[in-house]
Structure 1
Amino acid sequence: MTQQKEQHYAEDPVQVRETGQYQNEYVPGFAEKWDQLIDWDGRAKSEGDFFIQTLREHGAQNILDVATGTGFHSVRMIEAGFNVISADGSPAMLATAFENGKKRGHILRTIQADWRWLNRDVPGTFDAIICLGNSFTHLFEEQDRRKTLAEFYAALNHDGILILDQRNYDQLLDEGFSCKHKFYYCGEDVVAEPDHVDEGLARFGYSFKDGSKYTLNMFPLRKDYTRRLMAEAGFQKVTTYADFEETHRQESPDFYIHVAAKNAE
């Protein structure tokens, strides 16, 4: 199948609010530049061992990375000793992730999968599922979000956990954009800023040093709404962190990280 080379939107891009739109956004050119945006070394330093320690604290060994992107977290966790399956809905991202893994001496076990039918596409169950990089916001319909969380829940072992992150859309919607991307977007030669924001759409533009620009249409999830959906999907305990710290310690984080336990301890 030939992959499209340019992003495609309708005549009015801000009216494109569909779960499958990411397939038209993560074209090969954007996937190849994504690592300039996150900067692997910079992001590893800013994250520290938060995810690795969280997984170890819960006794996780077999990990499903459902939004592997260009492979950053999959590679980090393989190198930390975890068994990892790397999934993504974008073939361009998976291809880039596989090449990134090879460059670092690893053969990633990659699967293209739609979260809404995760258990059809990815066999087995896991100790932990990670859904990082603000990826959950590609789901525009509530029924898709609920279906996805149900699929995640079903793919976890009895004491499994889901780690899911999201941008602080509450601040973006209520106060405007001031995020410095100091934890997640570490690239120095990339500008990421919103082109349009309303309660149903956060459209971001990503401008690179060579003059190229790409966009992403995302649904602006509010923190408490995400937590409620997790609880209603069956997760017994949801702990939310703000930029890798407990929520109450920081009022205006760039990102939130939810750690949802399938069964309360």
Structure 2
Amino acid sequence: MADQIREKATNHSVKVFTKSMQQLEEFKETFDGIYCIGNTLVHLNNLEEINEFLQQVYRRLNEDGVFICQIVNFEKVLENEDFTFPIIQKEIFEFKRRYDLAGEKVLFTTTLTSAGQSFSNTTSLYPVTSKRLLPILKDNGFQTIEIYGNFEKGAYSVNSPALIVVAKK
């Protein structure tokens, strides 16, 4: 994915970096924008790690810089106590995804079945909600925080599929 972004960025004055979320302090530069999508934030282990990450984001942003974050709407997942995605059925494979509650975590399990063989993987996620994330952003100094339920800037609600955050320094 990063290679595709780099390729597209060659026609623009855009620098593309790939680091873990916890390596932002390694950058000496500051940026106009930091983008964290694909449900990445919830791979951090707890609110303390999320807070530390957001502190680093704030420090690495220029004045008027923007942080954009997209995660699954975990309020919806936690309210339902289970969330199973529609099965992706193709001619040569079947792909299943689901969330299950496990204490303070949510287990994300994927199963790919093809040619009679199944491969499963489970990842533990920290299900941060808007109610917990927004105060952390404010406490870290973000001045303007907007939330949406999708990338089309639809209104956020408990039933939205996603939580999109646009936070300005």
Fold shared per TM-score above 0.5: yes
Contact 1:164 1:258 in 2 (8 A): yes
Q: Deviations over 1:117-176 (max 9, x none)?
A: 412x22311110001111111122322111111100010111100001111110111123
SS in 2 for 1:88: coil
Gaps of 5+ in 2: none
Contact 1:202 1:219 in 2 (8 A): yes
TM-score with structure 2 setting the length: 0.81
Runs of 4+ in 1 over 6 A off after TM superposition: none
Contact 2:84 2:97 in 1 (8 A): no
Cα 1:251/1:218, change in 2 over 3 Å? closer
The Cα shift of 1:177 comes to 3.7
Q: Deviations over 1:186-230 (max 9, x none)?
A: 896421112x31451011111113321112110011112111111
Aligned-partner Cα distance in 1 for 2:71–2:165: 8
1:217 aligns with 2:124: yes
Contact 1:180 1:254 in 2 (8 A): no
2:19 match: 88
| Between structures 1 and 2, the one with greater strand share | 2
Cα 1:153/1:206, change in 2 over 3 Å? same
SS in 1 for 2:146: strand
- Letter matched to residue 71 of structure 1: A
- Identity among equivalent pairs (%): 20
Aligned-partner Cα distance in 2 for 1:257–1:234: 18
Q: How does 1:1-265 map to 2 (within 5 A)?
A: 70-71=1-2, 74-75=5-6, 78=9, 81=12, 83-89=14-20, 115-119=21-25, 121-178=26-83, 180=85, 189-194=94-99, 196-198=100-102, 200-210=104-114, 211-246=118-153, 248=155, 251-262=158-169
Aligned-partner Cα distance in 2 for 1:220–1:234: 23
Cα 1:215/1:234, change in 2 over 3 Å? same
Give the aligned CA root-mean-square deviation in angstroms. 2.7
Cα 1:139/1:166, change in 2 over 3 Å? same
The Cα shift of 1:239 comes to 0.5
Cα 1:157/1:179, change in 2 over 3 Å? farther
Provide the aligned length of Structure 1 versus Structure 2: 162
Gaps of 5+ in 1: 1-69, 90-114
Contact 1:74 1:84 in 2 (8 A): no
**Higher RCO (CA-CA < 8 Å; seq separation 6+):** 2
Contact 2:108 2:123 in 1 (8 A): yes
Aligned-partner Cα distance in 2 for 1:256–1:225: 12
The Cα shift of 1:85 comes to 2.0
Contact 1:165 1:257 in 2 (8 A): yes
The Cα shift of 1:80 comes to 7.4
The Cα shift of 1:248 comes to 3.2
